[in-house]
Amino acid sequence: MNNINIGEKTFNIKQKTILIGILNVTPDSFSDGEKFFSKEKAIKQAILMEKQGADIIDIGGESTRPGANKISEKEEINRIIPIIDEINKKTNIPISVDTYKSKVAKKAIDAGASMINDITALRGDKSLVKIISEYETTICLMHMKGHPKNMQKNPVYSNIIKEIYTFLKERTEFAIKNKIKKEKMIIDPGIGFGKRTGQGIEDNCEILRNLKKLKELNFPIMIGASRKTFIGNISGYNENLKINQRLEGSLAAACIAVLNGADIIRAHDIKETRRCLNLIDYVIRNKKKRNILEK
C-alpha cells in the first residue's frame, strides 16, 4: 500500500513518513494535561504544529493515560467539537479524533474530522464500526491489553509479538467484514498500552525491534512512543527521567520505528520529530541515486 487517504489529502508513505501531532484537550493527560485545555491555547498549538511540520492533528478529549477515569460522551463532545470547528477554519490540516465512542465519532466527523484513532480497535463501542463504514472514515486500530484504568496492572504475555499480530489480524478482518475498506485502515501495536516496562522487561522495545513482523499484515503502521514511561526508564541509565526530560528518547524511538517499518509517527514535539524524520526519509525513502561527492 503506497497511499493513505485522510480526508481530502493523499499521503504517499513510500516518499514521506506521516507525522501526527498530539493535541490533548484534557485536564489530566499524562504529558500535557491542562496545557491545552482552553480553546484558545488548543487552537494556537494546532496552528503551531502545522507550521512545524505536522501532517495531521490528533485531538483527544478523554485521557487514556494509565489509571485514567472515563468521562461522559457529552463532556468529550463539548471539549473537542468547538476546537475541531476552529482548526478547520484556521488551518489546512486533516483532523483525527482519539475516541472509541460512536456518538463522539459521529459528531466529530460531522464537524470535519477525517480520521478516528480508536484505542479499543472497535471493541469499546459496538456501534462505531457502522459509523466508520457509513462515513468511509479512516480509522486506526490499536492493540491494548485491558483498558486505561487497569492496563498497567500486571499485564502478562507469553509471546507479545505473536499476540499483537494475531489481535490486529482479527480486528482488521472484522473491520473488512463490516464493510470498512482496507485502504481506510491503519494499525498500531499500542506502545505503552498494557505493555511491561522496568525491572528488565521492556515490551515496548520488543515491539519496536519486531515491527517488520507486523508489516506482514500489509497495513500502514502507526507508532506513538512519544514521552512514554519506558523512555524514562531506559534513557536516563540509573535515573528515571521525568516526562519533560524524554525528548531525546522519544526521537530515538521514532527513528527506530521508521527504520523498522513504521509509516506514521504520533508525537508531541513536532519540530524536532519532523527534522529527524526528514533525514530518515531522505535516506530510506528517496530512491534517486545521488553523487556522494556533490556539494
Calculate mean pLDDT across residues 181-209: 94
Tell me, letter by letter, the H, E, C secondary structure of the chain. CCEEEECCEEEECCCCCEEEEEEECCCCCCCCCCCCCCHHHHHHHHHHHHHHCCCEEEEECCCCCCCCCCCCHHHHHHHHHHHHHHHHHHCCCCEEEECCCHHHHHHHHHHCCCEEEECCCCCCCCCHHHHHHHHCCEEEEECCCCCCCCCCCCCCCCCHHHHHHHHHHHHHHHHHHCCCCHHHEEEECCCCCCCCCCCCCCHHHHHHHCHHHHHCCCCCEEECCCCCHHHHHHHCCCCCCCHHHCHHHHHHHHHHHHHCCCCEEEECCHHHHHHHHHHHHHHHCCCCCCCCCCC
Whether 291 is covered by a domain: the verdict is: no
pLDDT for 288 equals: 58
Whether 295 is covered by a domain: the verdict is: no
Nearest to 164 by CA among 139, 132, 141: 141
Mean pLDDT over each residue of the chain, to the nearest integer: 91
- List residues with catalytic annotation: 228, 266
CB 230 within 8 A of CB 204: yes
Residue 201's domain comprises 3-282
Tens of pLDDT, residue by residue over 43-84, are 999 999 999 999 999 999 998 767 667 889 999 999 999 999
Whether 289 is covered by a domain: the verdict is: no
Nearest to 269 by CA among 236, 225, 237: 225
Whether 248 is covered by a domain: the verdict is: yes
pLDDT band at residue 35 under the 50/70/90 scheme: low
CATH of the domain at 158: 3.20.20.20
pLDDT for 295 equals: 37
Which one has a higher pLDDT value, 153 or 218?
A: 218
Tens of pLDDT, residue by residue over 190-203, are 999 999 998 789 99
pLDDT for 67 equals: 66
How many structural domains are present in the chain?
1
Whether 148 is covered by a domain: the verdict is: yes
pLDDT band at residue 113 under the 50/70/90 scheme: very high
pLDDT for 226 equals: 96
pLDDT for 136 equals: 96
Q: Is residue 293 pLDDT above 50, yes or no?
A: no
| Least confident stretch, 2-6, 29-33, 62-66, 126-130 | 29-33
Whether 292 is covered by a domain: the verdict is: no
Residues 196, 81: Cα–Cα separation, whole Å:
34
pLDDT for 294 equals: 44
Whether 287 is covered by a domain: the verdict is: no
Whether 294 is covered by a domain: the verdict is: no
CB 130 within 8 A of CB 23: no
The C-alpha cell at 287 is 530512491
